[in-house]
Every structure is written in C-alpha cells, then in structure tokens.
Structure 1
Amino acid sequence: MDRRLFLGGLLSGLATRGRADAPLTSVRPVARPATAARAAVPAGGAADLVAEAKLGGRTCYALFDLKSGEMIEAIDPGRPMPPASTAKAITSLYALEHLGAGYRFATRVIATGPVQGGKVAGDLVLAGGGDPTLTTDGLAELAAALAKQGVREVEGRFRVWGGALPYIREIDRDQPEWVGYNPAVGGLNLNFNRVNFTWKRQGKDYAVGMNAEDRRFVPQVNVARVSLSERDLPVYAYDEKGGFEDWSVSRQALGGGGSRWLPVRHPDLYAGDVFRTLAAGAGLKLPAPEVASRAPQGRVLAERGSDDLDDILRQMMRYSTNMTAETVGMAASQRRGVTRHAVSGPEMSAWLGGRAGVKGARFVDHSGLGGASRISAEAMASALVRLGPGARLATLMKEIGVEEDGVRLPATVHAKTGTLNFVSALTGYFTAPGGRQMVFAIFSADVDRRDALGMSERERPKGGKAWVKRARGLQHDLIGRWASLYSA
C-alpha cells in the first residue's frame, strides 16, 4: 500500500480546514441484524502499530465484517471517544431517515400585499427555509426573478425571516471567536454564515473590506465592518454593539495582503444586507432589512430550492461543513418534535440507540465540533453496519484509493475523517483485495492534552499538526494490515 497516496487523501481535508465550511458549489435506513461477536485484542501487530505512533492518550478501533455483522478485530472497542467530524456520518443517517434523500430546502421572496405596476403594496420578505447551502449567487437568482417580473418598488418594509429553524449564536462555545467553521446557525443562512474579510497593502497602510464573494458576484457587506488595531494580540476581536458586527484586526498580523472568512453571528440580517445590494443591481431599491418575528403570509414572488438532501450530505461529508451538519440535524429533530439545538444532539443519540441498538453514544451537536461528544468505535462501526447499506451511506463518503508498489489495488476505502485538537478519527467502509467488505472505526485522542489548551492556542496548537500526521499514518497502517490479513 502506498502510504503517501493514502495519506494524501486523508490529509487533503487538513489543507482546507480554514475553508472547511465552503464547498465552492428518501431512502430509509433499514436495520440489519448484526451479532457483535467479541473480538480478541490482537497480540502484536496492531498493538505495536499503536505504540509506534506515540500519540499518547488512547487509540481504539473496531473492524467488522459487513456481511455477517461480526466484529473481526478490535482494540478497546467499547471505550467512549470523541468522534470529531465522523459524527457527520451519524447525522447523515439521521437526516436521511427523517427528511428523505430527495428533501429540498426552499428560500422564498414573499410580498405581503398586492403587486401592481411593479410596486409591492406591502412588505417584501426574504424568508429562509433552512437551506445550509444558499450562496450569494443563489440570492442573485432570486433578485433576478423579481426583476423579470417587473418589481421595482416596495411601499412597506424589507424584512428577513429565519424562523424556519431555531437560532444559535455559535456551534461550540469553546472555539475561538474568529474561526469560520464555528458560525451561527438559523433558518436563513448565507455562504455558510461567513463573511469574507479582505486586506491589501496600500503604501504604508491597508485597504480593508468585507464582502460576500461568490463565483459571479462579490457584493460589499454593510452589516459587518472591520477596522485595524495597533495591538499585537489578540489578532481578532469582535463586538456587536450598535447593530453591526464589528471586527478589529491586528495590523501587525496582516502581511502583504489576503483574505479570510470570518463567522457571522446574525445570518438573517447578513443575508438581507447582501440581497438588498443584489436587488439594487437588478433595479429594485430596498430599505435596510428588519427581522420579522413571525412567518410571513402572502404571495410568493420568487423561490429557490436547494439540491436534494443526498447531494447536500455528499458535499457535507467531503468538505466537513459544520453548519450544514447542524442545519440538517436540527431539521431532522424538528420532525421528532424538538425545537432547540441543545436538545437536538441528545435526541440523535437516543434515536441511534433505538434504531441501531447501540449503547452509550452521546452527541452534543451534529457536526462533531463539540469536544464533549462521545461514541465508542464498536458503536460507530455497528451503526454503519446496520444502517449504512440501506441509506447508501458509503456513496456519500469520500473515496480513497489504495496502491501497493505503485499499482492500484482492487481495494477501496469510503470514509469520513474527523479532526479536532489532538483528536483524529476515521470511519467508513473498506473493500479488501478479493472483495471482502468491512466496516471500521478508528479513534485516537489525547483528551488531557486537548483540554489543557488555552483559547489562544486552539486554532493552531503547538505540536498539533505533527500529532495529526502521526495519527493519520496509524490509520493508514491499520488499513494496510487489514488489506493483508482479510483479503480472502
């Protein structure tokens, strides 16, 4: 097995961590009987590989035969471990069962009064339906649809409504304020609820700005502002007094020029601000957006549907989009009568226990960003054995090729990675040479080392990159072992 090729596939997610929430674009799970026969801890071999990785903390794994449902090999498979983003595999199963593979989120523009002679005699409302993938270009399509109908004026207010899903200010409160993969979540979301901060040196100073960049349109943003500070640390500071999302940035940290996506805390107003700019470009002048407290009633002037849920989940699994996971997970929980994000993760835990017959899973969210989530390798692999085939889960996961001595083997891994500080996880489906199909979950975590980090260390902890590289190398070596031992 070519370790470089395999690691390249796994580590590709690390290279886009800063853009983890930005892809630039029903089948009901059927429970399968599975007998989790107790697998013996392998003597030597796998245990030696774990020791050689020198990760500290704990490494646990479980390998199952997909056809029989029996556990083939394991190390400490029942220990609860942080799943990191492999939790998104469970979220995918949860969303598919409750929403259906063909489910679509809809964003609408609604007039609360009649439209005559290009004038709306009432309010115009941008109403979100929870779409986690709505982008600036998508909003531009809605603005163009209004222009095509000849809408040029609004007598009343311009309002935004994000009540289709409950609002949370951030996914995980233990993350740094400025990381783009920890934004707010609500019913009206845009650009994964991130705003693009740009800077460019001009002489001895900088030109800075905020925009909502997409492929076709790059509108400036007014509800989020940025200024420069002469301090060294913190690099980023946030304030939202006065109705604006104000960021100040250390001038010394900027260098020559660049851009970075920062999280948005008021996504409904952000979407309204961007839509207002796009509408003006289409010939429709709107007042500043106001938040609507109730679902709007009136005539739908324009509507934009998302891709099907299975396509959304495929992109979520590939790019590990935290906001998407929280949105689809919350939408699924609403079907079960849950109305708060704080209850949604635990509700998924209860569903998994009843649906897949696994014990001890505890999810605090749907993305795996919260470090308090726990699931054992045995429970994770069992869930994928019992529920994954009926939901075609493997087809939603990223494919990682396997080579040996430069020759592509008939062995394929479809898997979901997970990374937090000093936490690395990999779970998925493995077809060995010879065609034997297996399911695995590998969890490594040094929780004490992770918990010891201060807030300023959490974005790029000292030693974190090297630790993850060793953890990914261990995952490669374990799968290489399985390819050799279980190819029959």
Structure 2
Amino acid sequence: MAREREARRDLDVRGDVRHYTGPGRVAHWLPVLLVLALLGGSVAAYRYDLGPRYLPWLSADPETEPAAVAPPPGLDLPEWTAPVIAPALPTTGRIDPVAVAAALGPLLDDPDLGKHVVAAVGDLTFGSEWTSVEKPDTYLPASTTKLLTVAAALEHLGPEARFTTRVVSGTSPREVVLVGGGDPYLASKPLTPDGAATAFPPRVDVVTLAREAAEALGGSGRVRVSYDDGLFTGPTASAGWRSDYVPDDIVSPITALMVDGGREADGYARADDPSLQAARAFADGLAQAGMKVRGKVARVVVPPDAAELAAVESARLGDIAERVLDVSDNEGAEVLGHHVGLATSGTGSFAAGAAGVGTTLQGWGIDTSGLRLYDGSGLSRQNRVSAATVLAVLRRVAGSEGGPLRSAVTGLPVAAFTGSLTYRFDEGPKAARGVVRAKTGTLTGVHALAGLATGRDGVVMAFVVAADKVAEADGLDAQEAIDQAAAALAACRCAASG
C-alpha cells in the first residue's frame, strides 16, 4: 500500500532511460512487468481522475439494480409522514482564531513537515483570520499556483468565454490555414459517442473541423495546408522551468495550437512541436474528407482579413477551469495563463501571463508582497507566494463577490472523492471526506493544500497549509500530516461565539 501511495504522488517526474534487455531476460522480468502494469494503472487512474465521473461503466447500472418490490397483500404500513428537517447550519460567519490555533497549531509541529511550514485560515466574511507566521512569509506554491491563474482567467474573460479554432483561406490559391485560438482541450479526432457523452469538458476536434472546411471547398480537389499559431508569442517553455521538463516529457511546449494537450498517441509522450502535430492531424482529416493534400505543412502568418472557411468553439471557460483544477492539468493551466496575458497586456506569453495574474490580484486589493511567478501551472521551483495571498484569493472566489469566479471553487477536488484528492484521505483522517475541497500542490520536497473546509458547526473556512522543505524520504508522511491538518479544520467547532 505504501508503494502504491508513493506512485500516486504528483512529484517532479525525472525521466528514466529504458534499455532493451533482449529476449533472454523477458521470462525473468515478466512477473515484475505485470506488477508494474497494474501499478501503472493506478498512476493513470490518479493522473487523469478515472472513475465513475469519466468511466461511467464503473458505476452501478440502473438496469441491473433490483427493482422496487410492492409489499405483499394484507400488510398494513403506517402512513408516510414528512420528516422533520433540522435548520441548516450557517455557512458563513466569523471564525475564532484561538479555536483554529488549538486545532491546527500542534499539527504543524510535525517533524515530517520539515523546517518551513506556513498556514493561514480565514472565514468567508473577511471577519477574522489566523496565521501561523507573524510576518509575510512566502512558500514554493507548486500547483496551488493554478488557483491564481484560473481565478485571473475567469476575472478577465468570464466563465462563458470560448476559444475558437478557425480555418481560413491562405494567400495562395487552394491554400488553407489552420489558426490556433488557444483551446487547451482541442482534440486530434472525434470522441466516440460514449466518450462524447461522458467527457468533461466537451471537446471539439480538428477532424470535424477539416470536414467542415472540405465541404466549404466543394469536397474535392487539391489543397496545401499551413498553420498559424501566432496568438501566443515568446518561448514555448517557461524561463523558470528546469531544463529537462520539456525534453523528458514532463510538460508539453505551450502553443496556441495544440491537440490532446500536446500529447502523442500513447497519451504520455509529448510532441516536440504541438502546433505542427495539430496541423498534420488536420491535414489527415482533410484527406479523409476526400481532399488531395499536397506539399509540406508549414507555419505562416495569415492576414487579419482572411476569409473564414470553418470554425469550432471550445467548451466554456468555466468548465475548462474546473477540469484544470480538478486533475491539476499543467498544459491547460499554462494556456489559460497565456490568455490572462492577452487579456491584460495584449501579449500571450509566460511572462505576460504571470504579470497579468499579479496585477489582477492587486486590482482586487490583495497584498501581493513577495509574489514571484514564472508560469501558470506551478511547475517552476522559482515561484513564491505568501499563504496570505492565496488565502485572500480563496476568500474572493468563494465569498459574496465571487459569482463569475465560482468555477474556481466548484473545480476544487473533493477529499477522498474527486480529482487529485481521489486517493487522499482514503486512510487515516475521515472528518475531511466530502467536506474539504482543496487544490493540491506537490513537487519534490513540497506539499501543500489550499481550499475550503466546512467545520462541525457549519462555518466554511478558507485555508492554506504548505511545507516546502520536506526531506524526500518523508514525502508521504508529510502529505499525511497536511491531510491531518485539513481534517482537523473539518472536525473543528471554530465559529466565533456571539
């Protein structure tokens, strides 16, 4: 079990070199390979949040469930009476910092958390809060960075925004150009009917787009395919990332034209040039639709008045935001970060996106002292943010002013049930199950949770707990200590009296 939990961690992934050992060793290694295959299934299920939400055949089938059976003749049953419903507990109200300190403080002294631990808790009325540090203290946020990115994207674009992938006429005869619109979930091919019915968020694809373009062109004849991914500019990898992140397929290069999140057909390896990969998939779709594709696929810049042949729109941003937070989608978060840059400065890049997130928080009146961002996903180990800043963002999106930002709350994983918390809290503290929603943040030596916890008295608390100097050998124990802290808040009667 410990090894399986180890595999479920979303730590920095270091690439490994796999060497072919020859047929003489296959028999020797076959049992090991079978075990690794099973373990790999656990990892894949964790990474992509597989389960009844996305694999509905794992749920109970209503057609095979027992049917309701009528009582036998002559059996008298008492008349049904409406149940007495207790009044709802208040979900807002001030917290008692002393009660929070008593519940949380001792747990933060766990030696497995290492030498640098920060925590902050506040109610949603901005009435009171508690922090473990006396002065602003920043931590390495890892994937809790995604909370800031998603909130800023929702603020500037709104939850109903959609991203359009277009096909336009090129400058030369019979040239068609695929134009990227920064859809993070654009697919390389249509989903199956069952897949389309259960996929979240809904996907559009370049094959369907190619069919529409082919129809606009008359359904036959020769074409040459080009592509324009100029919506995003600058490097395709963050200056704050480790140099091996992209070569070792930890994250895709970020462009405005990506299919399948930049992943290859196996779902794990990343394309060296996601835009070219997308254009080739589009060209294949044109060929399937009866067009004769000639020449090499090339990058171009289309004029703004180019005639549109076909277009598809992404899912709404609110749904995209939920998915990014739920499964901690790095590529999706980076695409949204670039859109924040476009919205705030007209430039879709890592630097512009990070700067745009900062100015968004400042516009909300949030103290951003010590904030340093190099990306939108939290992969950069150079990022720094204070627990107070993250707490203020949580209170903003979950509070009375957070209406258009609400997807940043509904997308938070639920303890022991969804997303990156599916396999957390399955052992140990039970008080958090179903009543803690939080974004995980995990890199080697870093463990964090930031989200909402509903206390025993019904008051919802925003919280941040993070440790970023954890010994690698203590990683699982540190994660469990963080979970214990969240569970302590869920079990706490922390509402202020009066």
| 1:49 counterpart = 2:107 | yes
161-170 or 15-24, larger mean C-alpha shift: 15-24
- CA–CA distance in 1 between the matches of 2:160 and 2:45? 30
Q: Counterpart in 2 of 1:191?
A: 260
* Long gaps (5+) in structure 1: 26-33, 114-119, 196-212, 214-258, 450-462
466-475 or 363-372, larger mean C-alpha shift: 466-475
- 2:317 counterpart letter in structure 1: L
Q: Out of 226, 239, 242, which is 1:174 matched to?
A: 242
- CA–CA distance in 2 between the matches of 1:38 and 1:376? 22
Q: TM-score, normalised by structure 2?
A: 0.69
Give the length in aligned residue pairs.
389
Q: Counterpart in 2 of 1:342?
A: 351
Describe the shift of the 1:189–1:22 C-alpha distance in structure 2 as closer, same or farther (beyond 3 A): farther
Describe the shift of the 1:471–1:399 C-alpha distance in structure 2 as closer, same or farther (beyond 3 A): same
- Tell whether the 8 Å contact from 2:465 to 2:482 is kept in structure 1 after alignment: yes
- CA–CA distance in 1 between the matches of 2:148 and 2:220? 46
- CA–CA distance in 1 between the matches of 2:335 and 2:277? 17
Q: Out of 402, 416, 422, which is 2:439 matched to?
A: 416
Shift of 1:96: 0.6
- 1:93 counterpart letter in structure 2: A
- CA–CA distance in 2 between the matches of 1:167 and 1:18? 34
Kindly report the root-mean-square deviation, in angstroms, between the aligned alpha carbons of the 2 structures. Answer: 3.6
Q: Counterpart in 2 of 1:400?
A: 415
- CA–CA distance in 1 between the matches of 2:355 and 2:96? 28
- CA–CA distance in 2 between the matches of 1:429 and 1:141? 40
Mapping 1:338-487, distance limit 5 Å? 338-339=346-347, 340-360=349-369, 361-389=371-399, 390=402, 391-392=405-406, 393-400=408-415, 412-446=435-469, 463=472, 467-486=474-493
Q: What SS does the corresponding residue of 1:363 show, helix, strand or coil?
A: coil
Indicate the structure with greater strand content. 1
- CA–CA distance in 2 between the matches of 1:57 and 1:179? 31
- CA–CA distance in 2 between the matches of 1:44 and 1:386? 26
Same amino acid, percent of matched pairs: 26
Q: Counterpart in 2 of 1:162?
A: 229
- CA–CA distance in 1 between the matches of 2:175 and 2:228? 12
| 1:92 counterpart = 2:150 | yes
Q: Counterpart in 2 of 1:107?
A: 165
User: Could you report, residue by residue, the CA deviation over 1:332-372 in whole angstroms, capped at 9, with x for unpaired residues?
Assistant: 22122242422321332232133232132221111111111
Q: What SS does the corresponding residue of 1:416 show, helix, strand or coil?
A: strand
- Tell whether the 8 Å contact from 1:427 to 1:440 is kept in structure 2 after alignment: yes
User: Could you report, residue by residue, the CA deviation over 1:441-463 in whole angstroms, capped at 9, with x for unpaired residues?
Assistant: 1111118x7xxxxxxxxxxxxx4
Describe the shift of the 1:436–1:12 C-alpha distance in structure 2 as closer, same or farther (beyond 3 A): farther
Q: What SS does the corresponding residue of 2:137 show, helix, strand or coil?
A: coil
Q: TM-score, normalised by structure 1?
A: 0.70
Q: Counterpart in 1 of 2:206?
A: 139
- Tell whether the 8 Å contact from 2:159 to 2:318 is kept in structure 1 after alignment: yes
Q: Counterpart in 1 of 2:139?
A: 81
- CA–CA distance in 2 between the matches of 1:111 and 1:91? 34
User: Could you report, residue by residue, the CA deviation over 1:54-112 in whole angstroms, capped at 9, with x for unpaired residues?
Assistant: 23231111111223441135356731001111111111110011111100001111124
Q: What SS does the corresponding residue of 1:440 show, helix, strand or coil?
A: strand
- Tell whether the 8 Å contact from 1:425 to 1:442 is kept in structure 2 after alignment: yes
- 1:153 counterpart letter in structure 2: G
Name the larger-Rg structure. Answer: 2
Describe the shift of the 1:21–1:322 C-alpha distance in structure 2 as closer, same or farther (beyond 3 A): farther
- Tell whether the 8 Å contact from 1:96 to 1:310 is kept in structure 2 after alignment: yes
* Long gaps (5+) in structure 2: 12-41, 56-91, 190-204, 417-424
